[in-house]
Structures are given as C-alpha cells and as structure tokens.
Amino acid sequence: MLEVKKIIQHKEAYTEALKKRNFDASSLFDQIISLDEKRRATQAQLDELLAQSNQLSKEIGVLFKAGKAQEANQLKEQTADLKNSTKTLNEQMTQAQKELENLLYEVPNIPHPSVPAGKSEADNEELKRAGHVPELHEKALPHWELAKKYDIIDFELGNKITGAGFPVYKGKGAILQRALITYFLAKNAKAGYTEYQVPLVVNEASGFGTGQLPDKEGQMYHVTEDDLYLIPTAEVPLTNMYRGDLLTEEQLPIKCTGFTPCFRREAGSYGAHVRGLNRLHQFDKVEIVNFVEPSTSYQVLDEMVNHVEGILTELKLPYRILRLCGGDLGFTSALTFDFEVFSTAQDKWLEVSSVSNFETFQANRLKIRYKNKDKKKNLIHTLNGSALALPRILAGILENYQTPEGIKVPDVLLPFTGFDTID
C-alpha cells in the first residue's frame, strides 16, 4: 500500500509511473488526497474538542474544591455535550479512515524505473539465457506421459480423490519430489536463511497484509465458516510473522525460508497449457523472504536472483531470466525477475520462480517498521522469491533428463534420492 504523504508529494510522478502498468491513477489519487484532507480536518476538530474537554475537567475539579458545586455542574453539562460531539467525530474519523484505506487498496505499487513498459508477458525483457538444451531421442515424451509410463505421478487418482489439479506422487516420483524440497532448503540454509514451518491457512488480516486480498480473492480457497484462507504461497505466513512489529536496525536483514504446499483456484485456467504439472491447484514450493533496511534492498534483490540462478545451474536445467514489464508485474511488486526453465518435450518455457522487491508496499500494509540509529521509525523493505516452485522444475527434469533407458536424476540430487535413474 502506498503512503498517503508520498502520494501527495509525488502525485504527478506516481501517476506517470503507473502508466507503465496501464493503470490510470489520476482520479483515484484525487479522491485519496481529498479524503485525506477531510480526515485531517476531522482530526483537528477532534483534537480541539478533546483539549476543551480536558480544560473543562480541570476547571470542574477546581470549582468543586472551592465549594462551587452549582457552577461545576453547569460545566459538567457542557462536557456532556462535548462528549457527544467527540463521539460523532470519532465515528466520522473511523469511516473516513476506512474509506481511505479501501481506496489505497486499489492502487498497485509504483514500478521501479528499470521496469519496461508493456501490456503482457509478450513484452517482458529477456536478460539472460543459459544452460544446455538437450537433443531428445525420437520417442521422447512430455512429462505427463513419462509420469504415466514410469508410474510416478497419477493425475487420474488425484482427480478421483479431489479433482483436477491435485496429482498424487508415487514411489520414485514422491522421493524425487522430497529430494528437491530437501535440496532447496539445504541451499537456502547455506545462504543464511532460517527455516520455518508455518501454518497453511491464514486469517484475513494476513491476506490483506501481503496484498493477496483484495486483489486475488477469487484465486484463493476460502474456509468460509472460520473465515480463513488456504495459502497461495509461503510468502503470506512468512511475511506476516512480523506484522505490526517495530524492529531494530541491528535485527536487519532478516532472512526466512520455508517449504509449504500452496493452494490456488486458478479460476478460468483451461487448455493444453495447463496439462500435467504445468498448472495445479495444489503444489509444493520453497520460498525465501527478506526483511531489509531500504538502502540495501536492491543489492539483496540481486543476491536473491544470483541464488536462484545458482540452484538452476546446479540442476543443469536450461533457463532464462526475464525482467517483467509493467503490464505483467504483480500488484504488490516494484520490480520482478522471472526464471523460466525450458521444457524440451513441450518446446516451451515454464515459469519456475519469481523474485520480487516490494519496497515499502507490503510493509506499509503490515505496519512493519524499524528504528534506525537516530531512533527514527521507518518502514522496512520486503522481498520474496521462489527457491523453487516444484511442479515445473519436476516437469523440466523429467523431460530434459529422459533417455531411451529411463529418466536420469540430476547429480546434485543423488545424495537425497538413493537412486540415479527412474526406469
């Protein structure tokens, strides 16, 4: 959520910057500024009435001590009127604050100057392409056929148990999945991230805090009776661990990682592009989250990008790095780099990670601040990234490592699997 004071200070610049997102903020900013002026005027009236009420209370005490009960009671009638007026102004303040917050929730984050303009993923900027794309044998199969051939993932059984998009991993498929999770967490721990096991359901405040609500409410599974939401990513509970906290500069940076299943309704997703592991309603992912002092956040973003790239390099998968354009940028992000792995059997790129800097956007919603050396309170910067999302990584491994004799296991995973081939 943008800060109102910064919207007032940088209205024209923010309006122009949001055009990269194809978002016209001019009317919305006018409403926000007008409502904020109303809120501040109401606050000034309220402060004045409270000051008058406090003064009268002191005078009443003096009069009672002086034995002037009649005069004191007359002043008490005035304080009763002031209390009624104060109550009305408090209600107006609450309403204005709620309306202001609802307007602010509609405004996406300001894109970083390096974000290219564009309307869709077709306008994303490719920064790097690396890794070897193997030449597959003539009878090479896409991963959903390989999963069936080697009996390692059962999509039909998942459909029987729950529905489409909830696969069942079996035998070596389940072991390979677990090996990837263990490997990712080990790599993150080595990079200084503290591992957490977090809840898989969150309350509404957590969803609003990280920006999934109200922006992606229709994509989240909602447990209506308890008003809880199944998490779409570990980013939500990990980031909310510090909601409302005042940190010290010495505590920063805070580096967190966690493995969780993730749940996304993916409403309206149909067609060949969602076959197999390409898009699921439930999938596993290992996440990294950073809480940092603002001046360091873009250095940390680069470090996170390098970290994810290092994992893909060790897995020996062909990959590319994209800088997302304004039209493809997530609502809460200021700058995002996507990693995609090449699916050789499908002849297409599959997104496996997004690494983003949210600057103060999430921290303002979450009210996460830190006290610097001058004892001033400032909003922190938050960042997060997938390290990594498993379904498409697994798809990439199955397809790129397939041979006529079976599917080879990447060397880096051998300590975690206990086998080197799926056959």
Q: Which of 43, 71, 104 is the last residue of a domain?
A: 104
For residues 234 and 383, membership in a common domain is answered with: yes
pLDDT of residue 152: 98
Where a domain ends, among 49, 78, 104? 104
Query: In sequence order, what are the residues at sequence separation of 6 or more whose Cβ sits closer than 8 angstroms to the Cβ of residue 418?
Result: 175
Cα dist from 148 to 44, 343, 391, whole Å: 69, 18, 15
- For the stretch 125-161, what's the b/e string if a residue is b when 16 or more beta carbons lie within 10 angstroms of its beta carbon? eeeeeebeebebeeebbbbbebbeebebbbbeebeee
CATH number for the domain spanning 209: value is 3.30.930.10
Please check if 352 is assigned to a binding site.
Answer: yes
Q: What is the mean pLDDT of residues 65-73?
A: 77
Per-residue CA distances from 16 to 1, 21, 125, 334 (Å): 18, 10, 21, 15
Q: Dihedral angle at the C-alpha atoms of 234, 239, 240, 246, nearest 10 degrees?
A: 160
75 pLDDT band (50/70/90 cuts)?
confident
Residues 30 and 160 in one domain: no
Clarify whether residues 332 and 413 are in a common domain.
Answer: yes
Please give the span between the terminal C-alpha atoms of the chain, in angstroms, as a whole number: 51
DSSP class of residue 303 equals: H
182 shares its domain with 249: yes
Does residue 35 share a domain with residue 181? no
| pLDDT for the residue 85 | 86
Per the domain annotation, does 259 fall within a domain? Answer: yes
pLDDT at 267 over 90: no
Domain boundary among 72, 104, 136: 104
| Percent of the chain predicted with pLDDT > 90 | 84
Does residue 166 register a pLDDT over 60? yes
Question: 162 and 269 in one domain?
Answer: yes
Please, which pLDDT band fits residue 204 given cuts at 50, 70 and 90?
very high
**Banded pLDDT at 271 (limits 50, 70, 90):** low
Asked if the model's pLDDT at residue 215 lies above 90, the reply is no
Asked whether the predicted pLDDT for residue 218 surpasses 60, the reply is yes
Range of the domain at 85: 4-104
pLDDT interval class at 269 (50, 70, 90) = low
Write down the mean pLDDT value for the chain.
94
Global model pTM greater than 0.75 = yes
- For 304-356, the pLDDT digits (tens) are 999 999 999 999 999 999 999 999 999 999 999 999 999 999 999 999 999 99
In a domain, 258, yes or no: yes
Instruction: Classify residue 313: in a domain, yes or no.
Output: yes
**Predicted confidence band at 403 (pLDDT cuts at 50, 70, 90)?**
very high
Residue 34 lies in a domain: yes
What is the pLDDT confidence band of residue 366, given thresholds at 50, 70 and 90?
Answer: very high
Check whether residue 89 and residue 228 sit in a common domain. no
Give the pLDDT score at 9: 97
The reply to whether 70 and 140 lie within a common domain is no
- Within a domain: 112: no
Residues 301 and 190 in one domain: yes
% of the chain beyond a pLDDT of 70: 98
pLDDT number for residue 234: 97
108-158 pLDDT tens trace: 999 999 999 999 999 999 999 999 999 999 899 999 999 999 999 999 999
pLDDT tens-place string over residues 24-41: 999 999 999 999 999 999
For residue 272, what pLDDT is reported? 54
pLDDT-based confidence at residue 273 (cuts at 50, 70, 90) = low
User: What is the CATH classification number for the domain harbouring 19?
Assistant: 1.10.287.40
Please report the pLDDT score of residue 379 as a whole number: 97
Arithmetic mean of pLDDT, 85-109? 93
Work out the pLDDT band at 70, boundaries 50, 70, 90.
confident
The strand ranges marked E within 192-253 are: 194-195, 201-203, 222-223, 228-230, 246-248
Q: Are residues 218 and 277 in the same domain?
A: yes
Q: Phi-psi bin for 276: left (phi > 0), alpha (psi -120 to 50), beta?
A: left
Within-domain flag for 50: yes
371-402 pLDDT, tens digit each: 988 889 999 999 999 999 999 999 999 999 99
354 is in an annotated binding site: yes
**Is 265 annotated as belonging to a binding site?**
yes
User: Quick one: 177 and 63 in the same domain?
Assistant: no
Give domain status of residue 115, yes or no.
no
Please state the domain count of the chain: 2
Query: Which pLDDT score, from 0 to 100, does residue 128 have?
Result: 98
Asked if the structure places residue 113 within a domain, the reply is: no
- Evaluate whether 36 touches 4 at the Cβ level (below 8 Å): yes
133 annotated ligand-binding residue: no
Q: Are residues 60 and 184 in the same domain?
A: no
Q: What is the dihedral of CA 237, 350, 419, 307, to 10 degrees?
A: -60
For residue 159, is pLDDT > 60? yes
Whether residue 186 is predicted with pLDDT greater than 70 in this model: the reply is yes
The Cα 146–Cα 168 span in angstroms is 14
